[in-house]
Chain A
Amino acid sequence: GNSVTQMEGPVTLSEEAFLTINCTYTATGYPSLFWYVQYPGEGLQLLLKATKADDKGSNKGFEATYRKETTSFHLEKGSVQVSDSAVYFCALSDPTTDSWGKFQFGAGTQVVVTP
């Protein structure tokens, strides 16, 4: 079956530091890949997505590239702010099957940015 593995947290960074959160996946088909962000006490919000190999998703200074050869979708940001403190989830869905709406999530990575 499909699965997502992401690095454990918490990740603690100083403001303006570089952030990388690793995400790898296992899928039988051709999944779409997503990064969601969860701020304290809130639901999940879509941060970015990529639907095919070599696509780069980007939003709010975050980027992730769909790497089929390494089955990875690592999240990066060049200069984090305190407001980026949140839990980040990597997720996939497989639009090539009848399960296109079913998402597989990673365990989540908490990011703490200090001033």
Chain B
Amino acid sequence: NAGVTQTPKFQVLKTGQSMTLQCAQDMNHEYMSWYRQDPGMGLRLIHYSVGAGITDQGEVPNGYNVSRSTTEDFPLRLLSAAPSQTSVYFCASSYGRPPKNTEAFFGQGTRLTVV
């Protein structure tokens, strides 16, 4: 019963480096999203996807790319890391449209530090 799996759990990057945060879900959920969590700001939506091949921007998309080639996977790419991207990143998935349950299921998070 894996749910939403994120890798890695921790990462340190140098400014300007690129990397991909992985996210996979095994619940056949339509909707997947990436959030970043910063102190005092709650969670802010970076990008989301309503199904394979469909992605869109959230509240804070700059500096990040996503793709959704399969239902299961939704990787988040940092193109050129900046210290402002130091944060905890969460991937989430949701089952489907109402009247199905729409609550989000979260991964364990990736703590990223950019130096």
Q: Which residue of the partner chain, among B30, B48, B90, contacts A43 with CB atoms under 8 Å?
A: B90
Chain A count of residues within 8 A CB distance of the other chain: 23
How far, in whole Å, are A46 and B42 apart by their CA atoms in the complex?
Answer: 15
Q: Which residue of the partner chain, among A4, A43, A98, A101, contacts B102 with CB atoms under 8 Å?
A: A101
B71 at the interface (CB under 8 A from A): no
- A103 engages B98 (CB within 8 Å): no
Most buried by B among A45, A49, A103, A106: A103
Known: A43-B90, A95-B97. A103 touches B106 (CB 8 A): no
- A102 engages B45 (CB within 8 Å): yes
B13 nearest CB across to chain A (Å): 20
Q: Which of B30-88 contact A (CB under 8 A)?
A: 30-31, 33, 35, 40-45, 48, 50, 58
- A106 engages B42 (CB within 8 Å): yes
Cβ contacts under 8 Å, A106 to chain B? 42
Cβ contacts under 8 Å, B108 to chain A? 42-43
Most buried by A among B40, B48, B98, B105: B98
Q: Which of B3-49 contact A (CB under 8 A)?
A: 4, 30-31, 33, 35, 40-45, 48
User: How many contacts A-B (CB < 8 Å)?
Assistant: 63
A30 nearest CB across to chain B (Å): 10
Known: A95-B102, A101-B48, A102-B48. A107 touches B42 (CB 8 A): yes
Cβ contacts under 8 Å, A4 to chain B? 42
Q: Which of A21-79 contact B (CB under 8 A)?
A: 32, 34, 36, 42-46, 49
How far, in whole Å, are A3 and B5 apart by their CA atoms in the complex?
Answer: 28
- A43 engages B109 (CB within 8 Å): yes
How far, in whole Å, are A42 and B50 apart by their CA atoms in the complex?
Answer: 25
How far, in whole Å, are A43 and B107 apart by their CA atoms in the complex?
Answer: 6
A100 at the interface (CB under 8 A from B): yes
How far, in whole Å, are A96 and B99 apart by their CA atoms in the complex?
Answer: 10
A31 nearest CB across to chain B (Å): 10
Cβ contacts under 8 Å, A103 to chain B? 33, 35, 43, 45, 92, 104
9 additional A-B residue pairs with CB within 8 Å, beyond A101-B30, A101-B94, A103-B43: A43-B90, A46-B103, A89-B42, A100-B98, A101-B102, A101-B104, A103-B33, A103-B35, A107-B42
